[in-house]
Chains A and B, each alone.
Chain A
């Protein structure tokens, strides 16, 4: 399951998409709307996507994960439209045979998503709004994740 939707995300549905009998671990990540950013009080967020391409790129991330962690299955749902504080903007679930791979693969998935999936976030606060473009934090996270992967052997667990 790799979907862009304007409906509230259902974590159980995303997890159900990757459940299978030989999985010993499912790790789920939820990104939720925070009430502040860079010292500013955020009222709400608006997410916009290029849905058909975003779904393809999310599926590509699932393929990358399956190549790095053989047997891993990934599902990703990203929401668009207006999101209130505390609502989930993205849900990622990964199932693997063993827990270490599931944690690593899920972390990889969110870092890759933030780097390459065509989705954009607008922050709206009292008296203003701003499209966020890119994220230095995302690229740092991604580099850290990639550095971490260098020390791992994805095939072993």
Chain B
């Protein structure tokens, strides 16, 4: 198994009711798969797949996750002014 540390922000954080969680997934799981699992568990999450980051770098949905990875799902950003 692969243990992931997952972070949620803004609308995602409110939909999940937590800022972070630990999740165990099977070897060979992609970051896009992780999003789909979370969508099943938390139906209030957005239906369109957001950007994702692995270990604080933007990652494509088909990127494999590894044990200990820090995963973040990034709602469309709105910083600045």
Contact = CB atoms under 8 A, between A and B. Distances in A.
Contacts of B7: 50
Q: Bin chain B's interface residue count.
A: 10 to 19
Interface stretch (A18-26, A65-73, A126-134): A126-134
B77 A131 contact: no
A3 interface: no
Nearest to A112: B80
A56 B58 CA distance: 11
B17 interface: no
B4 interface: no
Interface residues of A, number: 32
A131 B14 CA distance: 10
Contact of B78 (A50, A110, A120): A120
B56 interface: yes
Interface of A: 30-32, 34, 47-50, 52-54, 56, 78, 89-90, 110, 113-122, 131-135, 138
Given A50-B74, A90-B79, 16 more contacts: A47-B79, A48-B10, A49-B9, A50-B7, A53-B53, A78-B80, A89-B80, A89-B81, A113-B80, A114-B78, A114-B80, A117-B80, A118-B74, A131-B11, A131-B75, A138-B80
